[in-house]
Structures are given as structure tokens and as C-alpha cells.
Structure 1
């Protein structure tokens, strides 16, 4: 799929050929697109990151395999040499315009730091568990991200925080504490992401907070978590649609806040629907939640679907999910196996018709503008 800048360049060439703009305007537009084009990772950069991860893993495995045969002082010195060499070497290479390799070395150093925590803890019999080690690893990686102003290290810090949340969240059933501290981690890392200019980290943090809320419903009343999530998501969606520029200047998500808000909105309503779908508690609340969900999906497509294909397709998936859950809750006792397949065929046909009509409606204004 062509990138946005490629499509704009093609449009500029078409406008110039059609006589809609002159050569000077076309040149100015092309230079503006080039100046504001988001620099994405090249294939070489991706390979460098993969090589860095594999190299870090190889170092740690080699050290672990020869752990007993290596003197204790040499072990510690080797680990710190890898960390120091990775960070310093990466900084030097990045200063010499080898950003991809420099960032890759920083990832190696961060991985070595995490491995060092485990190996040194084992060597000196330090007390603690995996969760504590992850907190230390994440804090060290976040500090390195701040010091080096590194986008990949910021993303790595968020990933480590997510690993801690996953470990503590699913360990909740055997312990008495819930990982509420993740919210503090998320706030700190969200602030760090602005300093390191890591939009990817902000997207990941928002998704992680939604995962935290899903875990939270296992510890709290579902409606106490889900209803505020639905309300806040709806407000964020409205703000991002009716005041997109000021809102995006604050959150800096590349105009994708409506997509996150829709995800939060549907996640909250799904929590409510699952809570009210039980046969013993089924009442008009489930129907009301379903109506709100369907209305929200339609509103999202109408208000923001034209500007975001990703939002449209996510709305279609949400619509299909709503049809499925409504069927499971309200119709399962009325249909046998053959009836289920018939109902599924009808529902999929309706879904296809709706999608086709919406897509045509979205393309309609553009086609009229092109022929005008």
C-alpha cells in the first residue's frame, strides 16, 4: 500500500497535468511534502534492530553457559563492559550519522542490563522476584531513554512495564495486591515519550492502559470500571473530532486519538455486555448497552470514518462483534444448528451490504470533487 506522501505526490502530478495548478505551485507542494514527511524505519534499520536483539541474546546465553567457569570479578566486568560499550558506542555511532546501528547498540545494552540483573542476583544470592527485577530493568531503560533521547529505548521501557503488568496481573489470584502502580509507570513513560519524541510509545501506553482496565474488572465491580471508561472514551472521541488540531498538539498521536477512543468505548461497553449477559442477570441493561454500542459505531463512521480507513475497518469489526454477541445472548435458545448457519449467512450478507454502501458514500464526495 502506498504511503500518504506517495499518494500526495501522485495527486500533485495529476493536478499539474490536468492544469489545476501551475508548475511553481506543484514544486512548492512537493517540497512541503518532502519536508514534513515522517521518516519511517528502513528495511536496514529493522534488520539492525533484529540483529541487536539476537546479539544481546547471544551474549547473555554465552555468559550464562560459561558462568561457573568464569571468575566472579570477570563476570561482573564483562557484563558492565557490554552495557557501557553498547551505550557509549551507540552514542558515538549516532553522532556520526549512523542512527540505526547506534539505536541497535542501545537495545543491546538495555538487553544486557536486564540479563545482568538476573545473573548478578543469582551470583550474589540477592533477594527478590521476577517482578522486582522487571521494575529495576524498566527504570534503568527509561533513564537511558531520557538521557539518550531514544525512541526505541522508550518503546522498550513500555514493553518492560507491560511485561510487569502481565506478570503481576495474572499472579493476582495467588496474591493479595493488584498492580495499581502500573498507572504511575504509564504516566511517567507517557511524559518521557514527549521528550524522546516517541509516538509509538504513546500508542502502546494507551493500549496498555486499556489492558490494565480489563484486568481491573477482575478486582472491582465491572460497572464501576466500564461506565467511566465509556464516558471518558466518548468525550475524548468528541474532542478529537470537533477540535482535532488542538487536541493532537497536546497528545501528539498523529491524528489517531479517535481510533483509540473508539477502542476504549467499545471495550467498556463489551465489559458491560458480558456483565449483563448472564442469564440470571439479563435485563434491559444489555439491550441498552447494545444499542449504545451500535449507535457509537455508526457515529464514529459518520464523524471520523472519512478521514481514517483504519477507524472504519475497526468500526466494522466492532459491528460484527456486536451482531455476534447479540445473537449469542438473545437468540441461542431459538435456533438450532442449521438455523445458526442461516442466521450467520444473513448477518454476514447484511454486514457486507452495509460496508459496501458506506465505502461508496465515503468515496462519493471525492469523486464529485475530482470531476468538478
Structure 2
């Protein structure tokens, strides 16, 4: 989508004479060379690796009774070496997608090997021990090969480990449940930075959001929900500062800060379901959505989606919560609609003035470049 807009803008600027056609082609070629959008072949190859990994794990879980133990263990260890050796060979010869897929298969085979050995020899241990070792091996693989796919694999294992930890301790407030999720989020963030796979930061953000939701479930304090709603919005606003907004990691952090604000609003809606408190929460939700759209909604589709979700979810909740008072509900919709319309009118006027000022600045720059005269 961005490439299509860029191409249209470059063509328009070339027709206006602002840039040459050669410069336009060079800019588009530079964008294509640095594009991080995965090719469809690479995506399908990774999906194939995931399906084959699931097949390996299911076959091991079946524990093939008719096959001797030594053959089973030797076979799964051989798979580990074959997949990692193939990955190293593929990456060395520039076949990045194939190498990444083989690394995922190798990591899945390692987990299957641990499970198989535990089954065959009735070794003591639990799911947490297996996940700790599995994450350690996958992290080592991600570091050695500098693999973004393995960073994502570690992120998925980290989500499973965090859930298994909280479940094993029956959602109790103990050191393991308190510290495991944030430490795993730090690990994911580091691997994301080290491998250059920024999208993996989403897994760290989801892990922290789930952890914060669990903390609220343990303490059940209203002021904590308010802190989530207000603090998330403040953090989101900080990420749009000119010096920070150009960093992809900061933009992702802002998106998850907005999700945190939405989490706080969901909790507050569950606490205050009628009367004046509900009205204040509803106004707060509308304000959060509008602030998000004004600050980053124009250029960020994900932020727009979250803002629309917050706004639409609040409206739907109000419809169900106040269904017994249709007049009150319609009144709220009427007032909200008028306020949003006025804000939209004001925002459009500001944008027009900014665009006009920018156009005058560009014109002055062109005049200066031609020595004050146009040809």
C-alpha cells in the first residue's frame, strides 16, 4: 500500500517538474531494495515449516510403539542435525527464506527430541523444565544465525511458558508468576533488536499486556485500572514526539501503550456499569479514541484500528448497558455525534491551514532554487 502511494507521488512530482524521471525511478528502486515486506514464496515456505513442525511433534507424541527406542532417538537427533546443517548451508548461499524455515524445523525437532526422551525413559520433570530448555536452545539458535524467524519462535515459546507458569501456580502471587513474564518480554525485545525483526516486539507487548491484566486480577484495585487507562494514553502521546516517532520500535511501543489504555477502559467499564461514573468512563473512552486519531491516526493504520475499536466497543457497551433507557442512550449518542462532528470540522480546518502553509514553504523553496525566478 505504501509503495503504491509512493509511486503515485513520485509520478506526480515528476510531472510537476519537481524531480526528474531518473530520480523518481532511483527512489522507487531504493525503496524496493530496502523493503521489509515478505515475499509470498517466503511466507508459504514458513507456513510449510510450521505445518511440518506440528507433524513432527504429533508423530513424537504418538510414541511409535513398534519402532525400537534407539532408532527413535537416533532419528530425531539426526533430524536436528540435518535441519540446522541445511539452514547453515542455505544462509551461506543467500537462500534466506529456506534457511529460516529449516531453523524453525530444527528448533521444533529439538523440542520433540526432549519430549520423546522423557516419554521413553520416564525421566522426571514437568512442562516448565522442558520449555526452559527449549527456549534456551531456540535463543542460542537465534543468536548464532541472527535469525528473525527464530526470534519469533522464541516469542511464541515465551507466551506458552508464561501461560504455563501462571497456570501451574494456580494464578497465585509468587516470584515465578511475577517475574517470568517481564523477563521473557525483555528477552524477546533483545532478540528483536539483535536480529532486526521489529515485528517480534508485538509478542513482547502482548506478553506484558497479559501480565498487567493478571496483576489487576490479583489486586482488583480501581486506581490501578485508572492508571492503566491514563498512563497508557500518556505513554502513547510521548511516542509521537518528533525525536521518537521516526523509530519503528517506538511506534510499536505506542501502539501497545494505546492497547494498555484500552485495557484500563475495559476494566473500568466492568466496574462502573451505570449512572454518572459510566458517563465519565464513556467520555474518557471517546477522548482516548479521538486523541489517538489526531496524533497518529492519519499515517498509522494500526492506531486507527485500535482507536475505532475503542470507540465502537464503548458505544456498543453503552447500548447494552443502558438499553432500559433509550432516551438516555439516544441523548448520549446525539451529544457525542455533535462533539465528534465539531472536532472533525476543527481538525479539517487545521489540516487545510497546515497544508497551505507547507505549500507556500515549498513554493518559496522552489523560487529560491531558481534565483527568485521561474523559467
Q: TM-score, normalised by structure 1?
A: 0.82
The separation in 1 between residues aligned to 2:192 and 2:153, in whole angstroms, is 11
The separation in 2 between residues aligned to 1:18 and 1:57, in whole angstroms, is 55
1:96 Cα deviation from its structure 2 partner? 0.6
Matches for 1:291-370 after TM superposition, within 5 Å: 291-329=283-321, 331-335=322-326, 350=337, 361=348, 365=352
Residues 295 and 86 of structure 1, relative CA distance in 2, 3 Å threshold: same
1:119 Cα deviation from its structure 2 partner? 1.3
Count matched residues: 355
Match of 2:27 in 1: 29
The separation in 1 between residues aligned to 2:233 and 2:276, in whole angstroms, is 22
The separation in 2 between residues aligned to 1:362 and 1:96, in whole angstroms, is 55
5+ long unaligned stretches in structure 2: 364-375
Q: Does 1:16 align with 2:14?
A: yes
Q: Please identify, of 179-188 and 99-108, the stretch whose mean Cα deviation from structure 2 is larger.
A: 179-188
Residues 235 and 142 of structure 1, relative CA distance in 2, 3 Å threshold: same
1:364 Cα deviation from its structure 2 partner? 6.6
1:363 Cα deviation from its structure 2 partner? 12
Match of 2:107 in 1: 110
The separation in 2 between residues aligned to 1:307 and 1:30, in whole angstroms, is 20
The separation in 2 between residues aligned to 1:328 and 1:42, in whole angstroms, is 44
1:318 Cα deviation from its structure 2 partner? 1.0
1:149 Cα deviation from its structure 2 partner? 0.9
Residues 343 and 128 of structure 1, relative CA distance in 2, 3 Å threshold: farther
The separation in 1 between residues aligned to 2:173 and 2:187, in whole angstroms, is 25
Match of 2:255 in 1: 259
The separation in 1 between residues aligned to 2:23 and 2:171, in whole angstroms, is 66
The separation in 1 between residues aligned to 2:171 and 2:202, in whole angstroms, is 31
Match of 1:144 in 2: 141
5+ long unaligned stretches in structure 1: none
Residues 104 and 303 of structure 1, relative CA distance in 2, 3 Å threshold: same
The separation in 2 between residues aligned to 1:142 and 1:99, in whole angstroms, is 18
Matches for 1:1-372 after TM superposition, within 5 Å: 3-35=1-33, 37-65=34-62, 67-170=64-167, 173=170, 177=174, 179-180=177-178, 181-223=180-222, 225-243=224-242, 245-246=243-244, 248-249=246-247, 252-253=248-249, 255-277=251-273, 284-329=276-321, 331-335=322-326, 350=337, 361=348, 365=352
The separation in 1 between residues aligned to 2:63 and 2:206, in whole angstroms, is 40
1:233 Cα deviation from its structure 2 partner? 1.8
Aligned to 1:219, the other structure's residue is in SS state helix
**Post-superposition CA distance 1:101-134 (Å, at most 9, x none):** 1111111111111112211111121222223322
Aligned to 1:38, the other structure's residue is in SS state coil
The separation in 1 between residues aligned to 2:282 and 2:240, in whole angstroms, is 23
The separation in 2 between residues aligned to 1:14 and 1:288, in whole angstroms, is 47
Q: CA RMSD in A?
A: 3.5
| Runs ≥4 residues deviating over 6 A | 366-372
1:172 Cα deviation from its structure 2 partner? 5.3
The separation in 1 between residues aligned to 2:220 and 2:132, in whole angstroms, is 28
1:224 Cα deviation from its structure 2 partner? 5.2
Q: Please identify, of 62-71 and 182-191, the stretch whose mean Cα deviation from structure 2 is larger.
A: 62-71
Q: Please identify, of 140-149 and 66-75, the stretch whose mean Cα deviation from structure 2 is larger.
A: 66-75
Native 8 Å contact 1:301 1:315 kept in 2:
yes
Q: TM-score, normalised by structure 2?
A: 0.81
1:319 Cα deviation from its structure 2 partner? 0.8
